[in-house]
Amino acid sequence: MSLSQFNVAISRLRVGGFVPYSSVDCPGELAAVVFLQGCSWACDYCQNPHLRSFRKSSEVSWEQVLTALQERRGLLDMVIFSGGEPLAQIGLEEAMTQVRAMGFKVGLHSAGSSPRRLRAVLPICDWVGLDIKAMTSDYAALTHRANSGQQAWECLDHLLAAGIPYEIRTTWHPQLMPVATLMRLAEELRTRGVRCFRLQAMRGRACLRAELDDWPPAHLDAAVQASLAAMFDEFSWRGGE
């Protein structure tokens, strides 16, 4: 890519928000989080609907982000690109390259909407948090997009083949996914080679599907937690109780 092409790609990057310091977005790393605008999926429990639009004016410019990062060199370990869906953004690869050149590790939060774009940025990433929302056949009912399941599970295969640190996350509520289906999902992840699985409770708070806000907190039986923990080298339940 020429310098002019690089600059054009960066100029099209749309930043929807910036958190200059986080100790919870990547295990063991102090990070800044860049929220990129735009996502083509419409997940029922999405709590960032303001980031779904690709047309919304950016709240923060990329130049402002770079200035803030420059001031935090030596204080932060990593810069994480989140969203929205970062893989939907033209300019993601170029932004990651700039961040790495500043001496930061590069992280990515993704729902896996584009296997091709994930493969392009994996060589730049030091860590990836990938959402696997459901079994392949159940994805469209949740995301309201055809082929989303195939895309996400293909992204999982690319991530595991890359051999970089990661965590696979599933957002769960018993009214969205029965426990029996959750166990089938976990078994499929284990069979694919997943070693780190984080199960997180759906939180009824400003969800895209408003009626989910009234659902009671998700409860996961201790015996089920133990069964899941036995399937993976690393497992955690981030409960809603």
Residue 20 sits in a domain of what CATH number?
A: 3.20.20.70
Q: How far apart, in whole angstroms, are the C-alpha atoms of residue 11 and residue 94?
A: 10
Q: pLDDT digits over 167-176, tens only?
A: 999 999 998 8
Which residues, in sequence order, are CB contacts of 97 under 8 Å at separation 6+? 124
**Residue 83 region by backbone torsions, left for phi larger than 0, else alpha for psi between -120 and 50, else beta:** beta
- Phi, psi torsion values for 78, nearest 5 degrees: -145, 155
Residue 114 falls inside a structural domain: yes
Domain assignment present for 197? no
Tens-place pLDDT, residues 1-43? 555 555 556 777 899 999 999 999 999 999 999 999 999 999 9
pLDDT, residue 48, reads 80
Angle subtended by helix axes 179-192 and 222-229, to nearest 10: 10
The total domain count for the chain is 1
Tens digits of residue pLDDT in 71-101: 999 999 999 999 999 999 989 999 999 999 9
Helix axes 148-162, 179-192, angle to 10 degrees: 40
The answer to whether residue 111 sits within a structural domain is yes
CA atoms of 172 and 239, how far apart (whole Å): 9
With a pLDDT cut of 90, the percent of the chain lying above it is 74
* Domain-located, residue 214: no
Residue 238 lies in a domain: no
In a domain, 196, yes or no: no
Phi, psi of 8 (to 5 degrees): -65, -45
Give a yes or no: residue 215 inside a domain.
no
Question: Which residue range is the domain that position 46 belongs to?
Answer: 3-174
What share of the chain has pLDDT > 70, as a percent? Answer: 93
Domain assignment present for 181:
no
Query: pTM for this one?
Result: 0.92
Inter-residue contact 50 to 153 (CB < 8 Å): no
Check pLDDT > 60 for residue 237. yes
Contacts of 41 (CB under 8 A, 6+ apart): 85, 111, 113, 143, 144, 145, 148
Task: Return the axis-axis angle of helices 62-71 and 92-101, rounded to nearest 10°.
Answer: 20
